[in-house]
């Protein structure tokens, strides 16, 4: 048994030490064999549970779920530290440098007249850091594992300076055209393409209306559950 000292309150350094012990020869067999790939789903699930805690407005649950996400960060960093590539301090260093370089209005001499100007400045700095010279390069860099509606939204924003639709009649005409194409598509591949176009145009409409497409769809899912509950209650099921 490893004698780990008790404390009134542990800190991040203690969490790092606990993970080091768990990954050691005298630690936990399960923890020792984990890899980035085996932990991937755990990280996704913990992030989803953190989001649910935020949605509930529950501070105690939020504290717990933040801890679970932090554990995943420490876990992945420890795996890399064992390989001699980087450690948790390197992760923090990189994030600090990124925040300082992108907040030129706080840590530098840049000034922005509006919040929109600030966000545009942030995006310009990001593109420069990542050597993205064209909108296509910026669009291609959008994370491919994002939920589809959010990925579509980010891709549209990256291309907005050169291709964004701004006229409301044009936005809704595109939706109607995509719906018509879906109705008339004659084969599975054609239907898939038409449905993708319809969803992509729906995201355009959401952006124009200032709505989050994922939030709107989740709200509709909750409404569907509510309707079924009412129907079942009325039928005595």
Tens digits of per-residue pLDDT, 189-218? 999 999 999 999 999 999 999 999 999 999
Is residue 229 a contact partner of residue 165, using CB atoms and an 8 Å limit?
Answer: no
Contact 185, 191 (CB under 8 A): yes
Q: Coil, strand or helix: which one is 189? A: helix
Residues of the chain short of pLDDT 70, as ranges, are: 237
Phi, psi at residue 44, to the nearest 5°?
-60, -45
Q: Are 31 and 74 in contact (CB under 8 A)?
A: no
Cβ proximity of 137 and 145 under 8 Å = no
The owner of tokens 């992945």 is 76
Per-residue pLDDT, 23: 97
Helix (H, G, I), strand (E, B) or coil at 233: helix
Provide the pLDDT for residue 237: 66
Mapped onto helix, strand or coil, the DSSP state of residue 3 is coil
- pLDDT for 59: 97
Which SS3 state, helix, strand or coil, does residue 234 take?
Answer: helix
SS3 171: helix
Provide the 3-class DSSP secondary structure of residue 92: helix
Structure confidence at residue 126 (pLDDT): 86
The CATH number given to 145-235 is 1.10.287.1080
Cβ count within 10 A of residue 21: 14
CATH of 12-86, one of 3.40.605.10, 2.40.50.100, 1.10.287.1080, 1.10.10.10: 1.10.287.1080
Structure tokens at 214: 């994922």
Residue 150 near residue 214, CB atoms below 8 Å: yes
| Residue matched to tokens 């509006």 | 114
Domain boundaries, the chain: 12-86, 145-235
With beta carbons less than 8 A apart as the criterion, state whether 111 and 105 touch.
Answer: yes
Tokens for 100, please give them: 């300082």
Same fold, 12-86 and 145-235: yes
pLDDT at 68: 98
Task: Identify the DSSP state of 132.
Answer: -
Note the pLDDT of residue 56: 94
CB-CB contact of 164 with 156 (8 Å): yes
Q: Are 79 and 46 in contact (CB under 8 A)?
A: no
pLDDT at 234: 87
pLDDT tens per residue, range 122-156: 888 888 888 888 888 989 999 999 999 999 999 99
Are 65 and 56 in contact, with CB atoms under 8 Å apart?
Answer: no
User: How many of the other CB atoms lie within 10 Å of CB of 131?
Assistant: 7
């Amino acid at each position: 048994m490893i004698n780990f000292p008790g404390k009134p309150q542990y800190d991040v350094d203690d969490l790092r030490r606990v993970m080091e012990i768990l990954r050691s020869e005298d630690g936990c067999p399960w923890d020792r064999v984990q890899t980035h790939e085996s932990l991937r789903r755990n990280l996704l699930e913990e992030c989803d549970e953190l989001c649910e805690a935020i949605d509930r407005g529950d501070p105690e649950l939020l504290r717990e779920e933040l801890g679970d996400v932090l554990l995943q960060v420490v876990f992945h960093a420890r795996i890399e530290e064992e390989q001699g590539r980087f450690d948790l301090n390197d992760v923090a260093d990189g994030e600090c440098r990124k925040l300082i370089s992108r907040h030129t209005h706080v840590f530098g001499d840049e000034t922005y007249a509006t919040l929109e100007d600030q966000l545009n400045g942030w995006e310009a700095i990001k593109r420069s850091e990542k050597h993205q010279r064209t909108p296509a390069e910026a669009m291609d860099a959008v994370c491919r594992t994002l939920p589809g509606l959010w990925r579509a939204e980010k891709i549209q924003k990256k291309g907005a300076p050169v291709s964004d639709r701004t006229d409301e009649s044009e936005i809704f005409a595109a939706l109607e055209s995509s719906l018509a194409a879906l109705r008339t598509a004659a084969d599975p591949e054609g239907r898939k393409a038409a449905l993708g176009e319809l969803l992509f145009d729906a995201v355009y409409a959401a952006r124009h209306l200032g709505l989050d497409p994922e939030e709107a769809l989740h709200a509709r899912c909750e409404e569907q559950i509510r309707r079924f509950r009412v129907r079942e209650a009325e039928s005595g099921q």
